[in-house]
Amino acid sequence: MVAELRQALEACNPASNRDEWAYAAFRLGTALAETAGSIEAFQEPIKLLGEASRVFSADRAPVEHGRIATVLGSCFRRVGKPDTALSHMEAAARLLRSRVSMAEHAAAESNLATALMESGNLNDALIHAEIAVHELSKIQSPTDVDERSLIAALFNRGLIRQSLGGDPDEVLADFRLVIELGSGDDAILQRGMAHHAIGVSHKAHKLHAEGLREFALASSLLSPASFPLQHAICRFNMGITYEELGTPPDLRLALRELSVALTIFDQRLHASQRSVTLEARTRVIDALVASSPKMTISDHQVQMLLESDADSQLMMLREILGGLESLPQDVRSGVLLDLFDSMVAIKESKKLLSIMIPVLMEFPDAVLSDALSALVAALREHSRQVEISRDLDDVVHAVLHGPQRVRVRDILEYFGWQRP
């Protein structure tokens, strides 16, 4: 699609037909903006859209200018320029009013509400969110686009009401309507964020169990692959909710959630979120140390695994190992050694090894090698070395087959393990 639009633009001669060229630039800029995956990738669409808006000026072509301003506003939001985004969204809503369909104008009002909310002008944001919901609710035979716009507008209104400390029942009604209307794949983001927002409301009212349930629903919808930032925010809020509960098992779960969030937040783009998460994680570690001075963080992680069901154990191990994958090898090896020291020290070590070994096979060779090296080092220092080695041999035989079994035994023996 982008290649075709680029060819269409290159085929236009701006000297002989400026409008045709500007329309082609608008279409290509919009497509590029929709597929942009980094801040740098927005440079070209912003340039193209800016040139198109100068051809379709507000005085000469108000509708076209307003539509371009909508896309430009979205671009500037995503590159972290809220004030510039707001000025474009204001222009779009003003120019499209009474000139386009009610649905298109309502979508522009909803975008403006978002920009105002992000700029901190919540009272004006609520006014424009109300306009958007009112206009979209009046459409007799809404299209799929109209329904998605209504879902977005309802979510915006609920979020603004929540930020203003509005009536909790009205706030929750907006979010629940988003969940009800957003049953299709196109509204996964809004549905997930609605569950997250309900969780925030429950947490604020000290309804911890209800809040955790909503955060879990939100994080399952907002997958780390599709919505990494939103997923990390959900995990952060789960973490600080567990922290508020304060018991050692809850603190262990808090540590898990905050650690996962830290692995997702980008150091360059999400510096403030990382800072807050690091502070929370430090508080949780201090609380765990105070509650159990003889236990290390790895001891707590192993205890958390023991307290969890089989599905949760798999997920936790994938998260723990996934968080280590990007670390320098010496750091990763040290953390793995601590983890295996704690794991082999308990009587349930064979059970945990039977879960750990298959999970390790999902990771790159570097992680597998470092983990098996750490496991051998942990065994070497343990008083039950022969017994646990026998358990390890049983596990490798039971859970691995063919080349994988041979490979793992070869790696273990390379690092000095003596098969019993």
For 276-333, give the DSSP string: HHHHHHHHHHHHHHHH-TT--HHHHHHHHHHTS-HHHHHHHHHHHHHHHTTS-HHHHH
Query: How far lies 119's CA from each of 72, 112, 133, in Å?
Result: 17, 10, 21
CA-to-CA distance for 88 and 84, rounded, in angstroms?
7
Region of 367 (left: φ > 0; alpha: ψ -120 to 50; beta: rest) is alpha
**Model confidence over 232-290: pLDDT tens digits?**
999 999 999 999 999 999 999 999 899 889 888 877 778 889 899 999 999 999 999 89
pLDDT value at residue 382: 82
Question: How many beta carbons lie within 10 A of that of residue 50, not counting itself?
Answer: 14
pLDDT tier at 71 (50, 70, 90 boundaries)?
very high
Question: How many beta carbons lie within 10 A of that of residue 372, not counting itself?
Answer: 25
Parts of the chain belonging to CATH 1.25.40.10 = 1-100
Let me know if 257 is exposed, middle or buried by CB neighbors in 10 A (0-12, 13-18, 19+): buried
pTM for this prediction: 0.74
Token duo for residue 415: 């690092």
Q: Are 22 and 52 in contact (CB under 8 A)?
A: yes
pLDDT value at residue 4: 92
Q: Is the pLDDT of residue 420 over 90?
A: no
Q: Which fold has domain 1-100?
A: 1.25.40
For residue 214, give the nearest of 232, 228, 200, 229 by alpha carbon: 200
CA-to-CA distance for 192 and 227, rounded, in angstroms?
10
